[in-house]
């Protein structure tokens, strides 16, 4: 019962409420894999300003490595964080992702973990993954920037990671999108 998959309510904190904890997501994915289950989809449910992440699992004889990517665009600075798989040991993936983010989000995008990202293995600050709040504009708030998402997916795919699903976390109208990837084993 004392499980913390997200940051929780955060009533008197600058931390965002109900953001998925990287260490918890890594543990959940690893535990499912050890039991022979792999994430194959993530339909989203919710209403009345709530968001309920759901995971569709498939029993497999062999389960690939899994990785979780989280997007935090409802605060400043915007962030993208990753955990799981071999992300911590792949310096070239971090470099390639940073190249994409500085090209498409601006030169202020940097790879850096701060106090709020300690449950993740890799984090990028000053990212612009969505339109954000879009106050006083005719833009849709939090609409994903297709080019940025596409290029992040391309880097991940080039490194052997395929998207399996995109759970959303959140509460009170704030939603935190994520992507679960699985490692595609090379076919010999």
Q: Where are the beta strands (DSSP E) in 29-173?
A: 37-41, 44-47, 50-53, 56-59, 66-72, 79-84, 110-111, 122-125, 161-165, 168-171
User: Quick one: average pLDDT of 8-31?
Assistant: 89
User: Quick one: average pLDDT of 153-174?
Assistant: 92
How do residues 44-84 score in pLDDT, each as one tens digit?
A: 887 777 788 899 999 999 999 999 999 998 777 899 999 99
- Own/partner pairs for 98-105, CB < 8 Å, 24+ apart? 98/124, 100/148, 100/151, 100/152, 100/154, 100/155, 101/127, 101/148, 101/152, 103/151, 104/128, 104/145, 104/147, 104/148, 104/151, 105/78, 105/129, 105/148
pLDDT band at 188 (very low <50, low <70, confident <90, very high): very low
Q: Is the full-model pTM beyond 0.85?
A: yes
- Give the C-alpha distances (Å, rounded to integers) separating 136 from 14, 75, 133, 141, 174: 24, 17, 9, 10, 19
């Amino acid at each position: 019962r004392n499980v913390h998959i997200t940051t929780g309510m955060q009533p008197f904190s600058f931390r965002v409420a109900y953001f998925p904890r990287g260490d918890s997501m890594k543990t959940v994915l690893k535990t499912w894999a050890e039991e022979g289950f792999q994430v194959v989809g993530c339909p989203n449910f919710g209403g009345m300003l709530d968001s309920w992440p759901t995971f569709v699992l498939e029993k497999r004889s062999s389960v690939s490595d899994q990785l979780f990517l989280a997007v935090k665009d409802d605060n400043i600075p915007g962030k993208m964080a990753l955990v799981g798989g071999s992300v911590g040991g792949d310096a070239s993936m971090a470099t390639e992702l940073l190249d994409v983010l500085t090209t498409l989000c601006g030169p202020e995008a940097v790879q850096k973990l701060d106090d709020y990202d300690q449950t993740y293995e890799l984090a990028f600050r000053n990212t612009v993954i969505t339109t954000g709040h879009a106050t006083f504009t005719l833009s849709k708030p939090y609409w994903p920037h297709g080019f940025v998402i596409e290029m992040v997916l391309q880097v991940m795919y080039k490194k052997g990671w395929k998207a399996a699903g995109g759970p959303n976390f959140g509460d009170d109208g704030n939603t935190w999108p994520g992507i679960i990837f699985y490692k595609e084993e090379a076919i010999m």
